[in-house]
Amino acid sequence: MKTRLTTAFVALVLGCVSIGAAAAEVATPGVKVPDHTRFVLPNGLTVILVPKKDVPLIAFSGFVRGGALVDPDGKPGVASLVAGLLDRGAGKRSAYEFADAVEGVGGTFSAGATAEAITVSGQFLARDRALLVELLSDALMRPHFAADEFSSYRDREIEFIKSAKDSDPSQLVGIYGRAALFGAHPYGRPQGGSERSLAAITQGDVVSYHATNFGADRTTLVFAGDLDAKWMKQALTTAFSGWAKAKAAPPQLKPAPRITGRRVLLIDSPGAVQTYFWLGNVGVDRRYSGRPALDLVNTLYGGRFTSILNTELRIKSGLSYGANSSFVRGSVPGEFSIRSFTQTDTTGQALDLTLQTLDTLKHDALAPEMLESSRAYVLGQYPLRLETAANWAATLADLEFYGLGKDYIEGYGPALAKVDLAETAAVTADAFPRPADLVLVLIGDAAKIRAAAAKYGAVTEMKLSQPDFAPVS
């Protein structure tokens, strides 16, 4: 049965099919993982080298297993602070000297924390390869964590959260959403910390985290670009062979169950003229077998400008300037979420329409034209994300982290090409939540939207000004 949404949506997407289909014909057979070398040092450090000599630079990407997953109890944000301080003084260089060394040669260096790892990435000109290896080894093995840099960086992160609350809560709604959905599970922790937890973290916590959770056996480094594999292997062996293994065992992570029923977290922002909302449930993990079909369905539902969600909430009704949906896929299932915002007085209308689109997706079959449109779009976009050395460094690091083979990349295009309507129906039934099984998070003026929020389930309230991302129990 062709649905009311489908009828309206097909008219919007048909114009994309012919262009996307042409891209698909080119893209499907073309994505190949480049030849590369992988070796493991005696201390457990894994290195992957990807010669790619089209431009004279070397990109790197790497990870140290752990991340927010091993933050000390009651102190989320330690891993994030550790990551942010890695290049603020390391080895023989102060924070200024480290930054000057990177910028002086036109390089880049960044680090961050995810739920399951601390990541590093950047790129340097190939002629500066020795400096790259020196700075990277200093940052990972010999960070200073100086008291003044720690205090400055921690205070800046606290101010960032306060500023987001004052000016753009959309940056935070996902953090509230994950906390409400996952609760005490590690995926529910604010990876960057909260105002309260950051204020409680000491320099000693950061030093202890690094001493306990950093080590060669937890780390993988990937280099891609204009590199001499023999030189790189020798230089990396010399630089990292003295690194000990981490003191702690690698963390284990158990999956969180999907929720049943609805519950609502209302975050009061008095005087707010808009309501930011997030709806979610536990989704699927990185190894989900229906990945190609799921990507096609989510692209149609909330993954692009002409998606069902954006069409209904922005283009047709004018209730919002944007709406999207996404799956976060980790070692265990992360969240499926929908995000949007609307004026305060249209909060109930926008939520009703959002739930209606999800209900229609769950119950009505996709039209063949919609599937072909999504297939062409995804196939056309996929190769574009694997063009540069930095893309390949990040991709191979991702494969290594999750223990995936190269077929995860090379088989993706052919798998997309074979997805049929039965597969899209199967993943829609399996991975997308029922509208009746959702956590709803609303950030807005509670006095004006409290009644509307109560329509969707039992409501828990907290104030946006509270220094945590979950109500204090």
pLDDT at 31: 86
Backbone angles phi, psi at 291, to 5 degrees: -50, -50
User: What CA–CA distance (Å, rounded) separates 404 from 201?
Assistant: 35
Backbone angles phi, psi at 80, to 5 degrees: -65, -40
pTM of the model: 0.91
- Smallest CA-to-CA distance from 235 within 34, 58, 110, 401 is with 58
CB of 232 closer than 8 Å to CB of 49: yes
Determine the average pLDDT of the residues in 25-38: 74
The residues that bridge with 173 in the sheet, in sequence order, are none
Given pLDDT bands bounded at 50, 70 and 90, which one contains residue 30?
A: low
User: What CA–CA distance (Å, rounded) separates 137 from 119?
Assistant: 14
pLDDT at 189: 94
Ordered alpha helix ranges (H), 303-454: 308-310, 347-363, 368-381, 389-402, 407-410, 412-418, 421-431, 446-454
Does residue 28 register a pLDDT over 80? no
pLDDT at 466: 96
Percentage with pLDDT > 90 across the chain: 89
Determine the average pLDDT of the residues in 165-183: 95
Q: For the chain, state the CA radius of gyration.
A: 24
Model pLDDT for residues 373-407, shown as the tens digit of each residue: 999 999 998 888 888 999 999 999 999 999 999 99
User: What CA–CA distance (Å, rounded) separates 221 from 197?
Assistant: 30
Does residue 469 register a pLDDT over 70? yes
pLDDT at 384: 82
pLDDT at 25: 39
pLDDT at 126: 97
Burial class (CB in 10 A: 0-12, 13-18, 19+), 472: exposed
Given pLDDT bands bounded at 50, 70 and 90, which one contains residue 21?
A: very low
Given pLDDT bands bounded at 50, 70 and 90, which one contains residue 413?
A: very high
Indicate the average pLDDT of the chain: 92
Determine the average pLDDT of the residues in 29-33: 77
Six-digit token string for 218: 């937890």
Does residue 339 register a pLDDT over 80? yes
160: left (phi over 0), alpha (psi -120 to 50) or beta: alpha
Determine the average pLDDT of the residues in 366-374: 95
Model pLDDT for residues 128-165, shown as the tens digit of each residue: 999 999 999 999 999 999 999 999 999 999 999 999 99
pLDDT at 358: 98
Burial class (CB in 10 A: 0-12, 13-18, 19+), 230: exposed
Determine the average pLDDT of the residues in 91-112: 98
Determine the average pLDDT of the residues in 180-194: 95
Given pLDDT bands bounded at 50, 70 and 90, which one contains residue 2?
A: very low
pLDDT at 27: 41
